[in-house]
Homo-oligomer: A and B are copies of this chain.
Amino acid sequence: MQISQEHHSASSFAPSFAEDPFNLFLRSKAAGSSQEEMLRRNILALRRGPMRYRRNQVIACEGDTTEYVFLVVSGVVRRCRTFRDGTRGITAFHLPGEMFGWTYNAVHALSVEAASDAIVLFIKRNALQASAAQNTAMANFLLAHTAAELQSVQKRSLLMGRDAKFRLVSFLTDLASRMEGSSQIELLMPHQDIADYLGMKIETLSRTITGLERAGLIARQSCRTLVVNDSASLAKMLN
């Protein structure tokens, strides 16, 4: 893991700070009890950072010791693995307010990288673990969090067996729901990242988007901004 404070000119970078990391994390995951809020404060008390990263910078490398758990403040973070043949797989994108990287393994199985310019908080894993060992509420908080992540990965592993159109629609609706968006979907990461996440090539991704557009389900406002025209039909495709 490399923690190196870097300075950027960062014109499009500054707005990120408008959001207070505390509030972001406290707010995330739908309100919750006051006890849960206390736990989130406990977790944030253990933080290091925030650290800034530019797109494509490595936050933690596959094989690094698992010293920290991560909390996204702004931007998008990807978890990925590159195979010998050069193929890359992305298992997840993490948005602001999301915590990830909890494990009992000594080393990371996946790299953690900035998919866009991003700001990330670090939380000492063994501090969390020590807290969980003493504090039942903290252990249960982590348990609930891990169970939720497990469920979303299970859902994803089912998706990966299906065709390109299905996978794309699923990705778009998921992204839209996580970003509380209107009918407008901002793709915050390059097509290459989305393609690697969905297990297809960027050409196929592009063509599949074009297909949905021709079918009148979505429209391209720009290549990074899509507009949903027929959310009912999209939803119906998913099951």
A29 in contact (CB, < 8 A): no
Say whether A154 contacts B89, CB under 8 Å: no
Across the interface, A151 reaches (CB within 8 A) one of B83, B105, B162, namely B105
- The DSSP consensus for interface residues of chain A is helix
How often does this chain occur in the complex, in copies? 2
Say whether A144 contacts B89, CB under 8 Å: no
Chain A positions within 8 Å of B, measured between CB atoms, are 81, 83-84, 87, 89, 91, 102-105, 109-110, 132-136, 139-140, 142-144, 146-151, 153-158, 160-162, 196, 199, 239
Across the interface, A161 reaches (CB within 8 A) one of B89, B102, B134, B149, namely B89
Q: Which residues of B contact A160 (CB under 8 A)?
A: 157, 160-161, 199
Q: Which residues of B contact A105 (CB under 8 A)?
A: 151
Q: Which residues of B contact A161 (CB under 8 A)?
A: 87, 89, 160, 196, 199
Say whether A104 contacts B157, CB under 8 Å: no
Give Cα distance in the complex from A201 to B230, angstroms.
32
Give Cα distance in the complex from A158 to B155, angstroms.
13
Give Cα distance in the complex from A155 to B162, angstroms.
18
Q: Which residues of B contact A156 (CB under 8 A)?
A: 157
Q: A137 to nearest B CB, angstroms? A: 9
Q: A84-B239, A151-B103 given as contacts; is B140 within 8 A of A133 (CB)?
A: yes
Q: A109-B154, A157-B156, A157-B160 given as contacts; is B91 within 8 A of A147 (CB)?
A: no
Across the interface, A148 reaches (CB within 8 A) one of B104, B149, B158, namely B104
